């Protein structure tokens, strides 16, 4: 199996690039953001709790997220692999993902981080907020989400660096140019 963690701050293009990677490699997409939004839309108890947390820009608890991830891994063991979009967000989550994959004799092949300047991130997210009406794409929440990412999530890159599994990719430029950079990284992992 090919298991990829696609990583980057809010607005870095993880969702767009995930779609392209899925199309090319046939991987199962696991996006905690999508999973949480599905729960919010369904107005489940989990969704109500998650919405209150997400609307402040904070991270949903590891226990909730890890449970959802384990369920997806178990459901799709016969596929070609997984792309983890925006997960893990903390070192503890990275350790839990490693345990979950190990339970199925799997591992992360590479963690690709999309690198984008803060000003560009804010610009992209404000534009997305206007186009989609997402409640978490307003300036105060955007800045908080980026700060939370910098404080709590960037250490995940060091975790994967220690295992020689981290690859930084420039996340600015055209969608196709960014994708070409990602494909180059994946080709090295697959060889």
Whole-model pTM: value is 0.82
Tokens 């186009």, residue located: 131
Q: Determine the pLDDT at residue 50.
A: 80
> In this predicted model, what pLDDT tens digit does every residue of 167-180 receive, in sequence order?
999 999 999 999 99
Q: Determine the pLDDT at residue 42.
A: 85
Q: Is 54 helix (H, G, I), strand (E, B) or coil?
A: helix
Domain 2-190 matching CATH 3.40.190.10: the answer reads no
> In this predicted model, what pLDDT tens digit does every residue of 131-150 receive, in sequence order?
888 777 788 889 998 998 88
Q: Determine the pLDDT at residue 117.
A: 95
| Cα–Cα distance for residue pair 124/131, rounded to 1 Å | 11
Q: Determine the pLDDT at residue 66.
A: 81
Spans in the chain with pLDDT lower than 50:
none
Q: Determine the pLDDT at residue 108.
A: 96
Domain ranges of the chain: 2-190
Do 13 and 178 contact (CB within 8 A), yes or no? Answer: yes
Q: Determine the pLDDT at residue 58.
A: 79
Q: Determine the pLDDT at residue 86.
A: 75
| Cα–Cα distance for residue pair 105/90, rounded to 1 Å | 22
- Is residue 174 exposed (0-12), middle (13-18) or buried (19+ Cβ within 10 Å)? exposed
């Amino acid at each position: 199996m090919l298991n990829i963690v696609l990583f980057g701050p809010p607005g870095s293009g993880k969702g767009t690039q995930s779609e392209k990677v899925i199309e090319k490699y046939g991987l199962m997409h696991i996006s905690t953001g999508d999973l949480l939004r599905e729960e919010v839309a369904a107005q489940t108890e989990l969704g109500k709790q998650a919405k209150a947390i997400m609307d402040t820009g904070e991270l949903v608890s590891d226990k909730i997220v890890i449970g959802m991830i384990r369920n997806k891994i178990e459901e799709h063991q016969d596929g070609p692999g997984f792309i983890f979009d925006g997960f893990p967000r903390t070192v503890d989550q990275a350790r839990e993902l490693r345990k979950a994959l190990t339970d199925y004799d799997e591992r992360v092949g590479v963690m690709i981080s999309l690198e984008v300047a803060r000003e560009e991130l804010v610009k992209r997210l404000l534009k997305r907020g206007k186009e989609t009406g997402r409640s978490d794409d307003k300036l105060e929440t955007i800045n908080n989400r980026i700060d939370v990412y910098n404080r709590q999530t960037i250490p995940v890159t060091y975790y994967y660096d220690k295992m020689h599994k981290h690859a930084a990719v420039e996340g600015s430029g055209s969608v196709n140019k960014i994708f070409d950079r990602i494909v180059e990284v994946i080709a090295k992992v697959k060889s």
